[in-house]
Structure 1
Amino acid sequence: MSLEGMDVVNNYLSKIKEAVESSGVDLDKYEIFYRGENEYFETTIPTIFRSGLENEHKIFRELELRYPNIFDNAKSTIDKLAIMQHYGLPTRLLDLTTNPLLALYMAIDNHTTKDFSPSIKIVFVNKEKIKYYDSDTVSVLANFAKIEPNFSVDIYGLANNNGKIEKAQRGMAKAHYRFLGNHNKLKDLHKPLKYDVGKLICENSPNVHYLLHEIKGEKPYFKDMIWAEHFDRTVVFVKPKHNNQRVINQAGLFALFGMSNGKKESFSLEDCQEDNYFLIKPLKLNDGDSSCIKNCVENTKKALAILGITHDKVYPEIEHSAKYIKELFL
């Protein structure tokens, strides 16, 4: 085996080390995740946000009704979204891994010579932002997938009701939620004002009632109240159930995206960085000393194989294992 591929891997890990050291992140408070992409994107968004968001609710139900046996053991919407993501359906989930070598493999796998610009997104996530699969916040954001595209709630309604402003400001100490400072309706206030002390009142809102109905389908105890911030560019990082061999092998985690400004509109991970919950550092593999990766993908894959990263390990389903064995011996 040519050592060229191993040189690429070593250089790549050196660049990861440099990026981590230069981030200034307190690693006792943050975890590091990686995303490999075989094309460089300025923004990091889930596939459903690139195309098909207006039909998300139909896409969700169409696959479920066609393969009910696959979804029988999926008790929550996040479980169903994970299955859909597994089979390549566009969802509001974004795949991440804790293993930088896996991210490298994903960045160079299935590449084409056209516009091949592999890159890695290094995501530093505050541990407070990491949720488990059964989190109430996860239930709220996941069930946005079932909502029709005309969904809309006025999360800034309080800004038009001066009679409530002082009350809301007094309640800020109890809210413990980040302030909002970038919305036009709030610019004239003394301090950035959080939406209704962090709470959305759900009365007289049919859209929210329907969302609550879907949430209560998996959590009957859920109260008739949703934090307003969940409707405005919230992303949570979800540790899924290890009931899927691919999730286990890929050391996987999902970034789950919510709504934007109370509507089913797309937004990027980069849009949310000001929250200080996470930091993204892109790493272009075609830059600098890593430029050879474009010309030595196969050698790089062989080097990764020595380190235990092979196609059948990343994608453990039988059809992928068969493909790997075929390439190995034929």
Structure 2
Amino acid sequence: MYTNPFVEKAFYLVCGDKLISDGYCDMNLYISSKISKDYMLQMLKNINSPFIELYRNKYPQKKNVSESLNIFLKSEAMQTYGKSDDMKLIEGQALIYWIYKSLNNAEARIEATKELMQLLIEKYQLNDEIRFSKGIAYLNSQVELNFISSIEKFFQCIEEMASLGKKIFYRGHSEANYVLVPSLMRKKSWLFNERKMYNELLINSPSNFQNMKSHLEYLVEMQHYGLPTRLLDITTNPLVALYFACCNHFDSYGEIVVFSVGDWAIKYPQSDTVSILASLPMFEYEKQQEMYKYAVDEGLTQEEFNIKIERLLHEVKTEKPAFKDQVIKEDLLHSRIVLPIKNNNRILKQDGAFILCGLSNNNRHLDVNELRYKEPNGKRQIFIVENKQRLLNVLNAFSINKATLFPEIDDVADYIKSKY
């Protein structure tokens, strides 16, 4: 049953993408059987999914789950569905959870997870040992887990990391399974239409951009108002990151991503590298991929490369007339941390900075993970957050809450309302 294309795709959506990209994934809600049937029914109903049929009756038993799945896949509801590649995330979650509910206990679900992960390891040639800790599955040679349940524990970790002398940045996710990519790359249609979205917002809201002079300023403003961009929000304040790791999804783990970098990875707004990367939205997706192909072509000399990307050079020069007609290949391929001008209240309150992402062969799995904090043994340190509500109460005592981090009046009003 686990080799069925629909089951394989479902598990990839639930866990495989995160495991391959980041080296770990949170399976706790599935292993501990914490997802409600009503929630799944409602989410599937919202997208009019045929997978809702799995949840209309009782969960299957272990002895008949394979047969029940085959009957469902051959049912009238699935005849017009398409291939397994068309599966949406919530459908993958629903299918895996439905299968796990046929297993009697957490131990059996862990064994099922191991079997499914072994198929992933073989398919993607990961060559690693899978281990489990509190429902988190991880690749032992790549990552080391740290569970954060108190401010004191977090401060202890920070003190150890800071002793190495590198610059530390943080990012908080309220779901540990959040894949570390910018919003633009979370949906193919956004990625393919980056140029259109960028220009349409400039055309339709010109007053927001009239005092801005650079593509980076445009991107920061677009990010602020929710347009998908190639920016990832980060912060220099660990307590801000901890807040974002705790503020939602109270039934699941949060995560704090810690970046530890040298000066080479940190850029200022006036940097030529920043101007190059921030100009990428001006090009169609096909042109971006063409530039990527040229950048990784070892047979192209630097001079030949710059001839191939002449349009990009021209775009940068419209912003910076004194820009030298040369782009280093690596500048297109790597993500960089940008320290922005703090002319935005939200950036100021959140001690904000950004990771500006470059190009990759599929624009999905970038080199952002290479910026994560690592121990001398090469293992990335993963910080999983539990006891969210307790931590939020402690953070509130430090004046870290929605009202202080989001100074807009509607957010302050929401915070005040939540107190009473």
Does structure 1 residue 147 correspond to structure 2 residue 279? no
Secondary structure at 1:243's aligned position in 2? Answer: coil
Distance 1:274 1:312 in 2: 30
Matches of 2:273 and 2:374 in 1, distance apart?
17
1:220 corresponds to 2:356 = no
TM-score of the pair, normalised by structure 1: 0.72
Residue number in structure 2 paired with 1:77? 215
Return closer, same or farther for 1:158/1:103 CA change in 2, 3 Å cut-off: closer
- Superposed CA deviations along residues 45-102 of structure 1, whole A, max 9, x for unmatched, are 1111221211111111121111100011121011111111111221111111111111
For CA contacts below 8 A with separation 6 or more, give which structure has more relative contact order: 1
For residues 162-311 of structure 1, what are the structure 2 equivalents within 5 Å? 196=301, 201-203=305-307, 205=308, 208-232=309-333, 234-260=334-360, 266-270=365-369, 281-286=381-386, 292-293=387-388, 297=389, 299-311=390-402
2:39 counterpart residue number: none
Which stretch shows the higher mean deviation, 241-250 or 86-95? 86-95
Change (3 A) 1:272 1:129: closer
Is 1:11 aligned to residue 147 of structure 2?
A: no
Equivalent residue for 2:37? none
Q: What is the CA-CA distance between 1:200 and the residue it aligns to?
A: 5.8
2 CA distance for matches of 1:274 and 1:129? 13
Q: How many residues align?
A: 266
From 46, 50, 53, give the equivalent of 2:191: 53
CA distance in 2, matches of 1:265, 1:100: 27
Q: Name the structure 2 match of 1:319.
A: 410
The change in CA–CA distance for 1:315 and 1:120 in structure 2 (over 3 A counts) is: same
| Partner amino acid, structure 2, of 1:57 | R
Unaligned residue ranges in structure 2 (runs of 5+): 1-146
What RMSD, in angstroms, separates the aligned Cα atoms of the two structures?
Answer: 2.9
Other structure's SS at 1:226 match: coil
In the other structure, the counterpart of 1:5 is none
Indicate the structure (1 or 2) with the bigger Cα radius of gyration: 2
Q: Which TM-score applies when normalising by structure 2?
A: 0.58
Give runs of aligned pairs for residues 91-102 of structure 1, distance below 5 A: 91-102=229-240
Structure 1 CA distance, aligned partners of 2:204 and 2:192?
A: 20
Contact 1:199 1:227 in 2 (8 A): no
1:300 & 1:24 partners in 2: Cα distance? 22
Counterpart of 1:32 in structure 2 is: 168
Residues 324 and 20 from structure 1, CA distance in 2 versus in 1: closer, same or farther, beyond 3 angstroms? same
2:241 maps to what in 1?
103
CA 1:110–1:10: 2 relative to 1, 3 Å: closer
Greater mean alpha carbon deviation, residues 264-273 or residues 125-134: 264-273
Query: Any stretches of 5+ residues in structure 1 without a counterpart?
Result: 1-7, 160-194, 287-291
User: What is the percent sequence identity of the aligned residues?
Assistant: 34
1:146-169 per-residue CA deviation (whole Å, 9 max, x = no partner) reads: 21110113224443xxxxxxxxxx
Cα separation, 2, equivalents of 1:88 and 1:221: 32
Task: Give 1:36 deviation, angstroms.
Answer: 0.4
